[in-house]
Amino acid sequence: MTLETDVAIIGSGYSAVALALNLVDLLPPAVKISLVGKAAAQGRGIAYATKAECHLLNVPAGRMSLFADRPNHFLAWLAAQGYPWSAEDFVPRRIYGAYVRDSLDEAMKRTGNRAALTLVDAEALGAAAGQDGGLVFALSDGGRLSARVSALCTGAGTRRLPLPEAAIPAAARPFVVEDPWADAWWERLPADADVLFVGTGLTTVDQLLLLKRRGFRGTMHALSRHGLLPQPHLARRADPVETALVPGGGEVSAMLAALRRQAAATPDWRAVMDGLRPVTQALWQGWSAVQRRRFLRHAASFWNVHRHRMAPAVAEEIEALRRSGQLVIHRGRLEALCLRDGRLAAVLKDGTPLAAHLVVNCTGLDRCTVAASPLLTSLAERGLVRPDPHGLGILVDDAAAVLAGDGARTAGLYALGPLTAGHSWEITAVPDIRVQARAVAARINAEVAAG
């Protein structure tokens, strides 16, 4: 059976819902919008599916509205629900997930009798060009969905442990947690055992907080190439400082050196990083392919820990774990895993062994590679999408319209969020995606109106 729709939004996370809500505001009532993804996950994705109160937003509530043109929307929702948080507070992520889902439910009620917005409780596994234009999606429930205009909002999956298959013997695999969000792995961890987290970013921070809440007494090791933890936000945010960087203004190393000098001359370096937001995407777009590769290889890790920061209360807890010695940060690379005397041992590239009861993969969200998604693989095989050369999703133009294998626009196909990182770089946080969602909704509205 083939369902017909005017606009198909493929995805379950924030990007998909943000686009759907903007389309409901802009499109005429007769236009049908289908939101395709597992219904139970709509609006939450990986980021907001957690139920743990200790998992906080990494951005204050005052900057987390769903809508670019309604900056106080989230604050108004919090007040209406009777929550006490204000604009500078870091709210639990589960609460934000409830807000996104509640906003989606409210939009569906508004469209009620017209059925302008419907949820398709299935995943899109593949797609091909339709006979009359648009795309026809193959769904996980065996059905098909034909759409005049489509938007890919599939986001990113979880990275795999950075080891070749041969480096993990079969006997060691039961002690490896590839996806820390997939199951309650901590229930298999004795309260006094050692555990090794591969990665020192925000995913590891989340897992450390979970273990702390459970009264874990063992040693928590965390390993990454540079051994860098995310930097903390301050309780009171300083006003952003206008950046000294100019798009197209030189080599990556020179621009980063200028950024460091400006940060050193500013009372709070965070104000300098926050002042970059208006020009970050233009800076990235002004670099050549060689310069982008250089940035990704040498500077991206340092950028991420300063750009994507911890809530102040979270940072205090992590620092307390380090001071007590329960959390040990290691700098290096994982070379192999093995069993020694019945215990798991992680071998670092320099030969250092680390014994642990479990190894937990916390390398974070993967770059949106075409090969990691059956849907994107299907579209690429048909020449409808083209992979970004740096592995950052797919190629799009300035309007977030998808570019085909021949470099031309794929008619009626857009992409949002992390899928467009190759074009925009900074497009994973709510303040950036909501602007993109509004702009793409306006373009879809114009396309639908033009017939």
User: Within this chain, do residues 69 and 48 fall inside the same structural domain, yes or no?
Assistant: yes
Give the chain as a 3 state SS string: CEEEEEEEEECCCHHHHHHHHHHHHHCCCCCCEEEECCHHHCCCCCCCCCCCCCCECCCCHHHCCCCCCCCCHHHHHHHHCCCCCCCCCCCEHHHHHHHHHHHHHHHHHHHHHHCCEEEECCCEEEEEECCCCCEEEEECCCCEEEEEEEEECCCCCECCCCCCHHHCCHHHHHHEECCCCCCCHHHHCCCCCCEEEECCCHHHHHHHHHHHHCCCCCCEEEEECCCCCCCECCCCCCCCCCCCCCCCCCCHHHHHHHHHHHHHCCCCHHHHHHHCCCCHHHHHHCCCHHHHHHHHHHCHHHHHHHHCCECHHHHHHHHHHHHHCCEEEEECCEEEEEEECCEEEEEECCCCEEEECEEEECCCECCCCHHHCHHHHHHHHCCCCCECCCCCCECECCCCEEECCCCCEEEEEEECHHHHHHHHCCCCCHHHHHHHHHHHHHHHHHHHHCC
pLDDT band at 348 (very low <50, low <70, confident <90, very high): confident
| Structural domain ending residue among the three candidates 274, 289, 307 | 307
Task: Return the minimum-mean-pLDDT range out of 24-28, 47-51, 226-230, 407-411.
Answer: 47-51
For residue 21, CA distances in Å to 186, 307, 409, 438, 440 come to 37, 28, 25, 9, 12
Is residue 171 one of the residues assigned to a domain? yes
User: Within this chain, do residues 343 and 278 fall inside the same structural domain, yes or no?
Assistant: no
| Structural domain ending residue among the three candidates 265, 291, 307 | 307
- In tens, the pLDDT along 176-208 reads 998 898 888 999 999 999 999 999 999 999 999
pLDDT over threshold 60, residue 115: no
User: Within this chain, do residues 340 and 445 fall inside the same structural domain, yes or no?
Assistant: no
CA atoms within 13 A on the CB side of 367: 17
Is residue 324 one of the residues assigned to a domain? yes
pLDDT over threshold 80, residue 90: yes
pLDDT of residue 291: 93
Residues 6+ apart with CB under 8 A from 216: 186, 189, 191
User: Within this chain, do residues 224 and 117 fall inside the same structural domain, yes or no?
Assistant: no
User: Within this chain, do residues 260 and 286 fall inside the same structural domain, yes or no?
Assistant: yes
User: Within this chain, do residues 174 and 60 fall inside the same structural domain, yes or no?
Assistant: no
Q: What DSSP string runs through 208-235?
A: HHHHHHTT--S-EEEEESS-PPPPBPPS
- Rounded-to-integer distance, Cα 141 and Cα 148, Å: 21
pLDDT of residue 160: 76
The residue range of the domain holding 279 is 252-307
- In tens, the pLDDT along 382-437 reads 999 999 998 888 999 999 999 998 889 998 999 999 899 999 998 888 989 999 99
Mean pLDDT within 120-144: 91
Is residue 90 one of the residues assigned to a domain? yes
Query: What average pLDDT is seen over the chain?
Result: 90
Mean pLDDT within 317-325: 97
User: Within this chain, do residues 213 and 261 fall inside the same structural domain, yes or no?
Assistant: no
- In tens, the pLDDT along 60-86 reads 999 999 999 999 999 999 999 999 999
Task: Return the minimum-mean-pLDDT range out of 34-38, 159-163, 281-285, 294-298.
Answer: 159-163
Which CATH number is 38's domain given? Answer: 3.50.50.60
pLDDT of residue 328: 96
pLDDT band at 133 (very low <50, low <70, confident <90, very high): confident
- In tens, the pLDDT along 369-386 reads 777 788 999 999 999 999
Structural domain count, the chain: 3
Is residue 240 one of the residues assigned to a domain? no
pLDDT over threshold 70, residue 114: no
Mean pLDDT: which of 42-46, 61-65, 105-109 is highest? Answer: 61-65
pLDDT over threshold 70, residue 119: yes
Task: Return the minimum-mean-pLDDT range out of 32-46, 192-206, 232-246.
Answer: 32-46
User: Within this chain, do residues 142 and 36 fall inside the same structural domain, yes or no?
Assistant: yes
Is residue 236 one of the residues assigned to a domain? no
User: Within this chain, do residues 170 and 274 fall inside the same structural domain, yes or no?
Assistant: no
For residue 197, CA distances in Å to 104, 297, 345 come to 35, 22, 13
More confident call, 238 vs 415: 415
User: Within this chain, do residues 74 and 52 fall inside the same structural domain, yes or no?
Assistant: yes
Percent of the chain at pLDDT above 90? Answer: 63
Mean pLDDT within 318-326: 97
pLDDT over threshold 70, residue 113: no
DSSP-derived pairing of the beta strands 334-340 and 327-331? unpaired
Is residue 278 one of the residues assigned to a domain? yes
Mean pLDDT within 129-146: 91
Is residue 242 one of the residues assigned to a domain? no
pLDDT of residue 367: 63
- Rounded-to-integer distance, Cα 189 and Cα 195, Å: 8
User: Within this chain, do residues 95 and 187 fall inside the same structural domain, yes or no?
Assistant: no
Is residue 239 one of the residues assigned to a domain? no
pLDDT of residue 145: 95
User: Within this chain, do residues 12 and 92 fall inside the same structural domain, yes or no?
Assistant: yes
- What tokens does 76 get? 């108004």
